[in-house]
Amino acid sequence: MPLKNTNIVSAAQTKFGKLEGVTLREMFAEAVDKATTQAGVPKEDIQAAFIGTFIPEMLVHQGHTAPLLLDYAGMRGLPATRHEAACASGATALRAAIMAIESGLYDTVLVAGAEKMTSVSTNRATEALAAAADDEFESGIGLTFPGVFAIAAVAHMQEYGTTEEDMALVAVKAHKNASTNPLAQFQKEITLEKALTPRYIAWPLKLFDCSPISDGAAALVLTSNEKAKQYTDTPVRIIGTGQASASMNLCDRTVLTSFEASVKASRIAYDMAGLGPKDMDFAVVHDCFTIAEIIATEDLGLFEPGEGARAVREGVTALDGDMPVNPMGGLKAVGHPVGATGVKQAVVVYRELIGEAGPNQVPRHDTAIMHNFGGTGATCVVNIMRRADA
């Protein structure tokens, strides 16, 4: 049965990128302010906060971030809990908020995510991010996140003939979409040749196959049907949600060309919504690496296994294609402040669904899917959203 009572009524993000001189709490407060006061939702209406941050302990030496951030944003006193699931932290916070509203416990809640990553060197950030993999058996021997997805890429290339050029085309599309997104870290188009620059991070993944190290925050207000109309004429309903886990270790998977948690979480979400992949007008997927986008589009059933690369080559996933994927530029070009990402993906879906995505507006925008992925794919959250009047 589709979820019945959860609406997004406002959504905002800060600019993503190297936000020199802006601290975690300052960007959090900016995103929250934009999604509440500036969007006509008084902060006094918020009853609880669900907050995604991944590794602030390692990046800015700060734990217990939920009350800290909420306090700085002027909302001291509310129940505030941090949700951590590596790169899926944001979407697990969102899911907890969905459950809180569907249960009737609250009417109106805040969902927000933030990460400050450029405070440390690239090697340091790489090490901190590696905490999302198993420290005993994989990250502990020097496997990195680009490495995890490189191993999946090599398997996908072998199994389906996917090429480095196919992956580079995902980057070209991402940078093109981000070129008209003023909140993106990279706002310049790149050529295929540039995307193929052989600066290897984890072979066969090169600089342009990777999402960057970023700072940023995003926020949403969720509310019940009864309250939604007092904030907006165009609420967006969350009608299906799914979450699944998988083995932490990549070596414990029998298949490396697909992520089983993505498949499971999406089937749960589709079943709940009573819809299938063909009903989706566009998709926002977790493209932490170019290969991750290709595999995600297959795992969500948008394309057959092994057909994701062809969809990119033929322009199907372009902004004006039949199934636009990451229409605002994705993690790849907009940036990936880890704890903010899952929330930001919902911000993108919201803006596209209500028709306020400006030059990045997709033509058909009634129903969409978002896919947020954590670590080696050990956590995946999928949500299906629809404009309430669609």
Partner 1 sequence: MSGRPSLEQYKKNIEARDFKAYKCAKCGAVIAPPVGVCYSCGGTQMEWTGVSGKGKLVSYTVIHVAPEQFQDEAPYYIGIVELEEGTRITVRLTGLDPQRPAEVKIGMPMVLDYDTGKSGRTYLAFRPA
Ligand X SMILES: CC(C)(COP(=O)(O)OP(=O)(O)OC[C@H]1O[C@@H](n2cnc3c(N)ncnc32)[C@H](O)[C@@H]1OP(=O)(O)O)[C@@H](O)C(=O)NCCC(=O)NCCS
**Is 200 one of the binding residues for partner 1 (CB under 8 A)?**
yes
The only residue of 54, 208, 259, 270 in contact with ligand X, by rule CB under 6 A: 208
Site for ligand X in 329-348 (CB under 6 A): 336
* Residue of 95, 111, 386, 117 lying closest to 265 (CA atoms): 95
Q: Residue 19 or residue 201: which is nearer to partner 1 going by CB?
A: 201
> At its nearest, how many Å lie between ligand X and the CB of residue 122?
3
Tell me which stretch binds ligand X (CB under 6 A): 43-51, 52-60, 121-129, 300-308.
121-129
Site for partner 1 in 350-389 (CB under 8 A): none
**Is 105 one of the binding residues for partner 1 (CB under 8 A)?**
no
DSSP 45-111: G--EEEEE-S-HHHHHS---HHHHHHHHTT-TTS-EEEE-BTBTHHHHHHHHHHHHHHTTS-SEEEE
Yes or no: say if 216 and 54 are a contact pair by the CB < 8 Å rule: no
* Residue 39, both tokens: 């969007």
CA pair distance 8, 236, nearest whole angstrom: 5
Annotated catalytic residue 371: no
The listed partner (partner 1, ligand X, none) that binds 138, CB under 5 to 8 Å by sort, is partner 1
CA pair distance 144, 149, nearest whole angstrom: 9
Closest residue to ligand X, based on beta-carbon distance: 122
What residues contact residue 363 under an 8 Å CB cut-off, 6+ apart? 320
CA pair distance 11, 370, nearest whole angstrom: 15
**Is 288 one of the binding residues for ligand X (CB under 6 A)?**
yes
Q: How many CB atoms lie within 10 A of CB 54?
A: 31
**Is 127 one of the binding residues for partner 1 (CB under 8 A)?**
yes
> At its nearest, how many Å lie between ligand X and the CB of residue 340?
12
**Is 212 one of the binding residues for ligand X (CB under 6 A)?**
yes
The HSE-up count of residue 264 (CA atoms within 13 Å, CB side) is 12
* Residue of 362, 366, 266, 276 lying closest to 322 (CA atoms): 362
Region of residue 295 (phi > 0: left; psi between -120 and 50: alpha; otherwise: beta): alpha
- Pattern of binders to ligand X over 240-279, x per CB under 6 A? ----------------------------------------
**Is 145 one of the binding residues for ligand X (CB under 6 A)?**
yes
**Is 372 one of the binding residues for ligand X (CB under 6 A)?**
no
The only residue of 37, 81, 122, 158 in contact with ligand X, by rule CB under 6 A: 122
Q: Return the SS3 of 233.
A: coil
Tell me which stretch binds partner 1 (CB under 8 A): 11-19, 116-124, 225-233, 355-363.
116-124
CA pair distance 275, 269, nearest whole angstrom: 9
Tell me which stretch binds ligand X (CB under 6 A): 1-9, 54-62, 90-98, 211-219.
211-219
The listed partner (ligand X, partner 1, none) that binds 87, CB under 5 to 8 Å by sort, is ligand X
The listed partner (ligand X, partner 1, none) that binds 238, CB under 5 to 8 Å by sort, is none
What residues contact residue 81 under an 8 Å CB cut-off, 6+ apart? 49, 50, 51, 66, 96
**Tokens 């402040």, residue?**
337
**Is 129 one of the binding residues for ligand X (CB under 6 A)?**
yes
The only residue of 62, 207, 253, 307 in contact with ligand X, by rule CB under 6 A: 207
Q: How many CB atoms lie within 10 A of CB 70?
A: 25
**Is 250 one of the binding residues for partner 1 (CB under 8 A)?**
yes
Site for ligand X in 80-119 (CB under 6 A): 87
**Is 256 one of the binding residues for partner 1 (CB under 8 A)?**
yes
Annotated catalytic residue 251: no
> At its nearest, how many Å lie between ligand X and the CB of residue 212?
4
What positions carry a catalytic annotation? 87, 336
Residues that bind partner 1 (CB under 8 A): 121-124, 126-127, 130, 134, 136-139, 141-144, 146-147, 150-152, 154-155, 158, 200-205, 249-252, 256
